[in-house]
Amino acid sequence: METKKGTILMQRYEIGRFLGQGTFAKVYHGRNLKTSQSVAVKVIDKEQVMKVGLIDQIKREISVMRLVKHPNVVQLYEVMASKSKIYFAMEYVRGGELFNKVSKGRLKEEAARKYFQQLVAAVDFCHSRGVYHRDLKPENLLLDETGNLKVTDFGLSALCESRRQDGLLHTTCGTPAYVAPEVINKKGYDGEKADIWSCGVILFVLLAAYLPFHDNNLMEMYKKISKGDFKCPQWFPPEVKKLLSKILDPNPSTRISLAKLMENPWFQKGFKKIEVPKTILTRSKSIIDIDNAIKFMDTPTGSYNNLKELDDAKASLSNSPSYSSFSPSSSSDTLKPTSMNAFDIISLSQGFNLSGLFEDDTGNSGPKREARFTTKKPPSAIVSKLEEVAEMERFGVMKTVDGTVRLQGSKEGRKGQLAIDAEIFEVAPSFHVVEMKKLSGDTLEYNNFCNQDLRPSLKDIVWTWEGEQQQDDEQHNN
């Protein structure tokens, strides 16, 4: 489908004026047909990103944006896909880039501090969710109609799981003038400390309207960055100069932390920390759409030949029971199912699984990275049992904001520590499906753990494991 003004996208959004473009994506203003809410629709050319091997980057961007729901971060509402395009429906931020404001001249101290406070608050929240942005700069900071800052463009971001066994990130990325010296040196870096450096460069730019490290020769600029060789202009307040010397410290081990930075007296002036609700097992309709858009609306080679077959499959399931998952209630201990489109239940059927775009190993042979079981127990009992198993097997437990329970192994295996996500879905009030998926570690070790430790320990709550019900029925019929 050609994306142009007036196009109706997936019967959900009307495409409006063109807003801008990058190498593989174009951004349009859009309108939600049901609510009339303005959105920004990012249209990604799937063939191009697959050709240059950027599918993992798209996956990472989706994974990151679903984790970071904060007032100072641009929100991702929904992900959709057609045969040739991937669509992000995102928060529409009307005020444009902070870069445009700085390009007109330096900001007053109060304005610069306000933007810096909002930037640091957003980055601190991202770090608390294990997300490192890695490309912070004024061009990636937007302003809404009330002048509040919004961090955007998580295409180069990393999750804490991306760290190697040395606990560091190793991908050299970012914009040269804003990148930390340890990133340039290619010896591994702490994602948090690298983001702090970029925040410091941004603060300098807001107050000076020029870069602290600049040279027409890129190598000379890198030398200045590596030495932390910069000079504050005379109009900088003394407390800002002192703070910048702690942020733009070329030694990451002595560079100020975000916690200490946020305690700084200059930073604290007028700062009101936004309390973001801490949710447990959060699961919303939009997140389900993000999970399933590529699986069920895309048509990779070897699956459906055209979208009509997919529409027919949807129609055939229109009378199926609704398939739900969790969102938080007022009490963090009480889980309340959120209604989902019945079509999502297709994910349980291999015949309808169209997840080829986002899956590395679609073959049926070899060790499996996923397992499912059904249970008639309530969510609280499922979570309690998983926590009991984790304690028994010396696994750590984390309940993530995207609706999963994560089991994190403490032992080093052949491919690092084993990490498993357990996602709970409600098919009916007294019937749940739990999907176990290996997040990291060795697949063979994961299978051994599932078969020898996990399955026997969960037998009290399991009704049937995937495939066993069918085998039992066949034996009964025979």
Q: DSSP secondary structure string, 260-311?
A: HHHH-HHHHTT---------SS---HHHHHHHHHHHHH---TTS-SSHHHHH
| pLDDT reading at 302 higher than 60 | no
**For residue 366, what pLDDT is reported?**
45
**For residue 141, what pLDDT is reported?**
95
Average pLDDT of the chain?
Answer: 76
> What span, in angstroms and rounded, lies between the C-alpha atoms of 366 and 27?
41
| pLDDT reading at 127 higher than 80 | yes
Encode 76-104: b = buried (16+ Cβ within 10 Å), e = exposed: bbbbbbbbebbbbbbbbbebebbeebbee
Query: What is the residue type of 20?
Result: G
Longest dimension (CA), the chain: 89
Contacting residues for 267 by C-beta, under 8 A, at least 6 apart: 113, 116, 117, 120, 243, 261
| pLDDT reading at 182 higher than 50 | yes
Tell which wins on pLDDT, 122 or 305: 122
| pLDDT reading at 50 higher than 80 | yes
| pLDDT reading at 49 higher than 90 | no
**For residue 392, what pLDDT is reported?**
82
What are the pLDDT digits (tens) for 134-166?
899 999 999 999 999 999 988 888 777 667 766
Report whether 231 belongs to an annotated binding site: no
Q: Average of pLDDT values for 357-370?
A: 46
> Residue 55 — pLDDT band, cuts 50, 70, 90?
confident
Task: Flag the least confident range among 92-101, 213-222, 245-254, 410-419.
Answer: 410-419
**For residue 4, what pLDDT is reported?**
65
Q: Average of pLDDT values for 101-126?
A: 94
Please name each of the domains of the chain with its CATH number.
8-92 (3.30.200.20), 98-268 (1.10.510.10), 307-477 (3.30.310.80)
Check if the beta carbon of residue 347 is closer than 8 Å to that of residue 297.
no
Tell which wins on pLDDT, 438 or 466: 438
Tell which wins on pLDDT, 418 or 234: 234
Return the active site residues: 135
**For residue 89, what pLDDT is reported?**
93
> Residue 416 — pLDDT band, cuts 50, 70, 90?
confident
What are the pLDDT digits (tens) for 321-339?
322 222 222 233 344 333 3
**For residue 372, what pLDDT is reported?**
81
